[in-house]
């Protein structure tokens, strides 16, 4: 099905029919997501089930997994961040319907216009991006430099040490 991820779909129709979409999609096809990535290399594995829950609410349930190439904000080098997103979307036509969705669903607002799977996947992955991408301290090339800076700062004399001594003498 991965060849068809760019094609238009109607989520409500797919939910009525109980369809499943699975496959792989190149990250490079997700333009808005790629703006936040260091590069668009890699793929996202997609498994999306369109159906209705026990009360008849149309929904999209599934999982997205990818390794996103981000820039570590400590050392400014690239790093692969594994992302696994559980998708729980309630399909609605209006904002008012979205307000009445159960708490375990995020709204997927649809109109009479078809959409692509790319639209759904891209939004979910953007929401899964970390606020700040950082290597683990043990893996970060800048961690050693930070330790050296901390050591130098600790050895440096505090410019307010003289004031502290004067205050101490005054209180004695």
- DSSP, res 155: H
What does the pLDDT look like over 68-80, one tens digit per residue?
A: 999 999 899 999 9
- Burial degree of 72 (CB within 10 A; 0-12, 13-18, 19+): buried
Give me 82's structure tokens.
């594994």
In this model, does residue 11 exceed pLDDT 60? yes
- DSSP, res 2: G
State the pLDDT at residue 170.
Answer: 73
Which run of H or E residues covers position 150? helix 141-155
What does the pLDDT look like over 94-144, one tens digit per residue?
A: 999 999 999 999 999 999 899 999 999 999 999 999 999 888 888 888 876
């Amino acid at each position: 099905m991965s060849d068809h991820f760019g094609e238009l779909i109607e989520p409500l129709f797919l939910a009525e029919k109980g369809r499943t979409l699975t496959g792989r999609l190149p990250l490079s096809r997700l333009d808005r997501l790629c703006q936040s990535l260091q590069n668009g290399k890699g793929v996202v594995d997609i498994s999306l089930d369109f159906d209705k829950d026990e009360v008849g609410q149309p929904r999209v349930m599934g999982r997205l997994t990818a390794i996103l190439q981000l820039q570590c904000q400590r050392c400014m080098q690239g790093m692969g961040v594994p992302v696994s997103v559980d998708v729980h979307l309630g399909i609605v036509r209006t904002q008012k319907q979205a307000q009445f969705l159960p708490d375990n669903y995020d709204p997927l607002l649809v109109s009479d216009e078809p959409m692509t799977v790319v639209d759904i996947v891209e939004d979910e992955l953007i929401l899964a991006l970390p606020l700040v991408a950082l290597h683990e301290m043990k893996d970060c090339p800048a961690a050693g430099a930070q330790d050296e800076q901390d050591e130098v700062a600790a050895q440096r004399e505090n410019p307010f040490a003289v004031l502290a001594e004067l205050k101490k003498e005054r209180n004695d």
